[in-house]
Amino acid sequence: MEPKNLIIIMSDQHQRRISGCYGHDIVKTPNIDRLAARGARFEAAYTPCPVCVPARASFATGKYVHQIGCWDNATPFHGDHESWHSLLRDRGHQTVSIGKLHFRSDEDDNGFSDERIGMHVIDGEGDLLGLVRDEDMPKRGGSWKMAKMAGPGESPYTLYDREIAARAQIWLREEAQAFRDKPWVLFVSFVCPHFPLTAPPDYYYPYYDQDLPSPKLYDQRDQPLHPWLEDYRSTFAYDEFFETPEMVKRALAGYLGLCTFLDDNVGNVLKALDDAGLTDETRVIYTSDHGDNLGARGLWGKSNMYEEAVAVPLIVAGPGVSEGSVIETPTNLLDLYPLIVGGAGAADAATVTDAHPGGDILKIISGEDTDRAVFSEYHAMGSKTAAYMIRKGPYKLVHYVGYEPQLFDLGEDPEELNDLARDANAQPILKDLTDELNAILDPVAVDRQAKADQATLMEASGGREAVIERGDLGFSPPPGVAPDFN
């Protein structure tokens, strides 16, 4: 691939299905839709971990969570592993970050040539409460914020995203042209549509003023879920605070409004690229760090292996990428690492990406490498044991340490309503996917290592009671906003 500039636009907690180009019939996302029309849209893309800090550390390094030990929201990346941005910077490329990183601190060398208004974990420590993963996990005090903050208005997140978009536009118009000797990479990282589900009124009311369908299986929210999911929702008791259908509607309208707000910010960045005369020499990636349950089955937030949480939107557009392509082959965000490094023109890209699990996304776009297994893992807050996902073809295995697995045929059952794990006819598929999982890691040993590391960190942070006493943020504050523990 001919070396070109690259813009990576990453949102936070954008459910894949909630974009026009992915078939949603209510939400308005014209800018993301246009980007998809002039590039490749991936129908089965997944995060390496369905929660912010590990997902972003994994994306930065091109390695699985268990390979780098960034298990949860209290074990952030801090420059101790090589990243695509440090690799390119050290080879003379300008790598610029504007917005959310969720690394440890801006005092670390995070690998960028230039890092602006970076959002990092609070106090360099993050969510210490998530280290408590025993039989008596405390209920999260900030869970009320999901329901009670949903509605019209501005939040610290919408104000932060406006600033991110403004600074990205200015960089493209006033600074990008100075870096012409080698392709540059601009990482623009927004926080919306991550909750609080507070959307500016001009984005909120167009959705609130219409009938909105109830979340998937919401009428069955009081029925028992898989035991691993019961652990999660007993800790993150978000749905307990949705006291009326009106509150649910406000949350849905808030989320949809934030998706359109995000889309407008994406459009502003792409317009600045065009106005600067750089579109023809720049590739663009749009994706998100993970999805959002958005009330499905009575679950809110992320942190599980259902499609709502673990699947992500992924679009790649620009020079050398076929327009209007729709890619059905399962893909992981780690597959972007070789593309970022090689697409920028690093001469030794093939060598430096050898030890990374990501595949060649150009081969995937061209229809090769279709029989591949895609992996995700979770070792974080609200879980007593690890959860692992393997997607291969239409089939998806969710393997839990200490609990029964789940198996879905997404070709026949895209809504994951029929668990095949105990179906006698599905046992060969279950075995094949389990073998794929075991080829990547030892599920029990990795679960044990994660808990050992977390126990060590909890002890260094004052012990279990001190961590519980510190409280729950609910969501991380952007730069300049004081944390609000509960």
5-370: CATH topology is Alkaline Phosphatase, subunit A (3.40.720)
pLDDT of residue 360: 87
pLDDT of residue 359: 93
Domain layout of the chain by residue ranges: 5-370
pLDDT of residue 374: 98
Residue-level length of the chain: 486
Beta bridge partners of 397: 390, 407
pLDDT of residue 482: 86
Q: Are 293 and 306 in contact (CB under 8 A)?
A: yes
Please tell me the distance from the alpha carbon of residue 354 to that of residue 253, in angstroms, as a whole number: 44
pLDDT of residue 350: 85
Tally of CB atoms within 10 A around 142: 17
Q: Which residues of the chain have pLDDT under 50?
A: none
pLDDT of residue 393: 97
Q: Could you give the residue ranges of the DSSP H alpha helices within 38-151?
A: 52-61, 65-68, 84-89, 144-148
Q: What is the pLDDT of residues 334-393, one digit of tens each?
A: 999 999 999 999 988 888 888 899 998 888 999 998 999 999 999 999 999 999 999 999
Q: What is the pLDDT of residues 18-53, one digit of tens each?
A: 999 999 999 999 999 999 999 999 999 999 999 999
pLDDT of residue 354: 86
pLDDT of residue 349: 87
Tally of CB atoms within 10 A around 277: 10
Angle between helices 30-37 and 245-275 (to 10 degrees): 50
Sign for the CA dihedral angle at 236, 241, 242, 247 comes to: negative
